Amino acid sequence: MNKKRLGSSVLLIILLLAAVSMAFSATPVVAASTQSSIMSKEPVISSLNYFYYSKFVKLNQTFTNLYQKALELGVDNETLQMVLNYQQAAEAWYRKGLECMNPMASSSGVLALIHFRKAYVSIRDAIRILENAIEELENSKG
């Protein structure tokens, strides 16, 4: 695992641990209602939404750069089409996440989180496929 991926993994673990810690410390022992319980977890959900939102935006740019490099190196069309499918799915999940960001709905943050996470995972998988294809081509030429 390279340093960049390790750093992202460590950041994600730290953020998730902080989120879990905040959820337990912010949740009242006896909740007056479900609404108050949901309200106490909003900062955690908002933080996770921002994390996956920002990671998707950054990785989408990385994908664009790697895709261009893959085209230049001559990665096969099947692989290029596969990663485009992943990227298009990621963009669709991202748009759904944005649609769920309705401040008036109590569950909007949770729904957005689900979609942003799926977008992040899909674009991350596309990047891994591209990195492997590029590495194989560079190793075979070198």
Residue predicted with more confidence, 118 or 29:
118
Q: Give the pLDDT confidence score for residue 9 in this predicted structure.
A: 60
Q: Tell the burial category of 55 from Cβ atoms under 10 Å away from its Cβ (0-12, 13-18, 19+).
A: buried
Q: Place 10 in a pLDDT band, splitting at 50, 70 and 90.
A: low
Both tokens of residue 34? 């479900």
Query: Any idea what the Cα angle at residue 111 is, between residues 48 and 37, rounded to 5°?
Result: 75
Number of domains comprising the chain: 1
Q: Which domain holds residue 44?
A: 3-141
The answer, yes or no, to whether residue 122 has pLDDT greater than 60, is yes
61-91 per-position pLDDT tens digit: 999 999 999 999 999 999 999 999 999 999 9
Measured CA to CA, the distance from residue 65 to residue 59 in angstroms comes to: 10
For the beta carbon of residue 68, count every other beta carbon within 10 angstroms.
10
Q: Residue 47's closest CA among 118, 123, 94, 116?
A: 116
Radius of gyration of the chain (CA): 19
Give the predicted TM-score (pTM) of the model: 0.70
CB of 106 within 8 A of CB of 45? no
Q: Residue 132's closest CA among 61, 92, 76?
A: 76
